[in-house]
Structure 1
Amino acid sequence: MTIAEVSAKFDLSQDTLRYYERIGLIPPVNRSKSKIRDYTEEDCKWVEFIKCMRSSGLPIEALIEYVTLFQEGDGTAEARKELLIEQRDNLVLKMEEMKSTVERLNGKIARYEETIGKKEKGLKRS
């Protein structure tokens, strides 16, 4: 697949895809004879994985570390697992914080609705 096709498929800009490759978030993509990026199915799996992880808020640094460890081979499996566990735990904590914030906002919104309801009841119909 060309970079344009991958860009459209994953809704990522071509610049983002080039950046991800340049910083090591996705392994180097093979090039055609004319030096055009030629994404394989495996490359697309990496793009999908990175997009998912980034949209969840995982830091680029952690993902670079993960990809680097992956490229080092099976001997790093435990380190990769620990990295993923740490990132999962961070996400769970963020989700709990977000849930608490949503609950607080719901309470404030309910108080506004209650106040507005009382004011509307006090209005007379003409």
Structure 2
Amino acid sequence: MNYTIKQAAEKMGFTVPTLRYYDKEGLLPFVEKKPNGTRVFKDEDFEGLAIITCMKNSGLPIKDIKKYMDLCQEGDSTLQERMEMFLERKEAVEKQREELNKIMETINHKIWYYETAIKAGTEAVHKQNKND
């Protein structure tokens, strides 16, 4: 099935300007472009868009996503390099997850702190426990 840029944007949860920006930055070499410049998205293009979304959401800069897309266009000779990009991304995301876990611990502690203070009617309950 063929999709317009508007339909593709809606299907992926993007805006049309976002898809145009991705195209301008060279992230969409897999999308067919008619001689008049109109982009024609096909079902198989959504896998590429999902990878772009994953990479972007993981914090990878657009220039590095472009590098990945260029490597994909070069074929099998770049398989190792593409895998290494994902291994690096995995490591970075794991570090982010560790940082988020620490943040969550602090948030959970503060929730506990306020729940117990509210139940006691005062924050002094925490000061009393420290002296015990």
TM-score range (shorter-chain normalised) is 0.7 to 0.9
Q: What percentage of aligned pairs have identical amino acids?
A: 35
Helix, strand or coil for the counterpart of 1:20?
helix
Opposite residue 82 of structure 1, the aligned amino acid is E
Which is further off, 45-54 or 100-109? 45-54
**Is 1:85 aligned to residue 87 of structure 2?**
yes
Question: Pick from 28, 48, 51: which aligns with 1:49?
Answer: 51
Shift of residue 107 of structure 1? Answer: 0.5
Contact 2:5 2:39 in 1 (8 A): yes
Opposite residue 76 of structure 2, the aligned amino acid is D
Relative to the length of structure 1, the TM-score reads: 0.84
Which is further off, 108-117 or 58-67? 58-67
Contact 1:27 1:43 in 2 (8 A): no
Unaligned runs of 5+ in 1: 121-126
Unaligned runs of 5+ in 2: 123-132
Say which structure is richer in strand.
Answer: 2
Q: How many residues align?
A: 120
Which is further off, 53-62 or 5-14? 53-62
- CA 1:93/1:3 → structure 2, altered by over 3 Å: closer, same or farther? same
Matched residues in 1 for 2:67 and 2:35: separation? 31
